[in-house]
Chain A
Amino acid sequence: DAKTTQPPSMDCAEGRAANLPCNHSTISGNEYVYWYRQIHSQGPQYIIHGLKNNETNEMASLIITEDRKSSTLILPHATLRDTAVYYCIVRVGGLSGNTPLVFGKGTRLSVIA
C-alpha cells in the first residue's frame, strides 16, 4: 500500500501558485519523497524529489517539514498544461538503486482559466 495521503482533488487559478500537500507520517530515515505527475492518459513524469532539505528545479519546489512527516509540492505559476494527477511517493533512494514506485491515487489538480 501507498505510504502517503493526498487530497483527491484541488483547483487552482491559472497564474497562481499551486500548493499540493502530502502526508507521509511513517517515512523512514532512508526514504525519499518523490513527486510524479500524469497528464491525461500519458505515462507518469518525474517532477522532483527530496530527502530532508527543500528542493527546487525548473518545474517545481518541494518543501519538506522538519520532522519529515509531510511535504508540499509548489508549482509557482500554474498553467492549464499543469492540469494532471500528481502523485507523492515515498521510497528508498540514493545508493539503494532504482526501487519500484508504489503509487497511491494522487491528487487531481485542475488549473482553471
Chain B
Amino acid sequence: DAGITQSPRHKVTETGTPVTLRCHQTENHRYMYWYRQDPGHGLRLIHYSYGVKDTDKGEVSDGYSVSRSKTEDFLLTLESATSSQTSVYFCATGQGGRGTYNEQFFGPGTRLTVL
C-alpha cells in the first residue's frame, strides 16, 4: 500500500475558525485527492491535484481550498469552518497512465467535528 498519512486524525473545532488538514505521501504519486464522507452519501470529491501547483475543483468544493507546493503534500483548508463541514475526510493518491492500473490509494481519514 502507498504510504499515506493524514494529520490530524481527529479534530474538534468551533464554527468560524480556520482548519487545515494535511495529507502526506511517500510514493511520489502524481495525483492527489480530497474526499469527504457523510452518512448516506458515500464519498464525494472536494478537490484534486494532478501535479504540483495544479489543482481542480470537485463536486463539493464550496468552502474549501487546497494547495500543493510539493509532490508529497496536499493541504485542505476550511477558511471558516461550518457545522455542515463536520465529516470524515479521506485523502487519496494515484499514479496514472501507461503501466498502471490507475487505482487510488486512500489514507486512514480525518474525523472533523465543527461545533
Given contacts A98-B94, A98-B95, contact A103 B42 (CB under 8 A): yes
| The residue from B44, B103, B106 contacting A43, defined by CB atoms under 8 A apart | B106
Flag if A101 contacts B45 (CB, 8 Å): yes
The yes or no answer to B63 lying at the interface (CB within 8 A) is no
Which residue in chain B gives the minimum CB-CB distance to A45?
A: B106
Asked if B92 is at the interface (CB within 8 A of a chain A CB), the reply is yes
| Residues of A in contact, count (CB < 8 Å) | 25
Contact between B42 and A100, CB atoms less than 8 A apart: no
- Asked whether A49 and B103 contact (CB < 8 A) given A43-B90, A43-B108, A105-B40, the answer is yes
**B108 / chain A contacts, CB cutoff of 8 Å:** 42-43
Cβ A98 vs Cβ B96 within 8 A = yes
Q: Do A97 and B96 have beta carbons less than 8 Å apart?
A: yes
How distant is the Cα of A49 from the Cα of B104 in the complex, in angstroms?
12
B residues lining the A interface (CB < 8 Å): 30-31, 33, 35, 40-45, 48, 50, 58-59, 88, 90, 92, 94-98, 100-109
**Could you tell me which A residues sit within 8 Å of B by CB distance?**
2, 32, 34, 41-46, 49, 87, 93-106
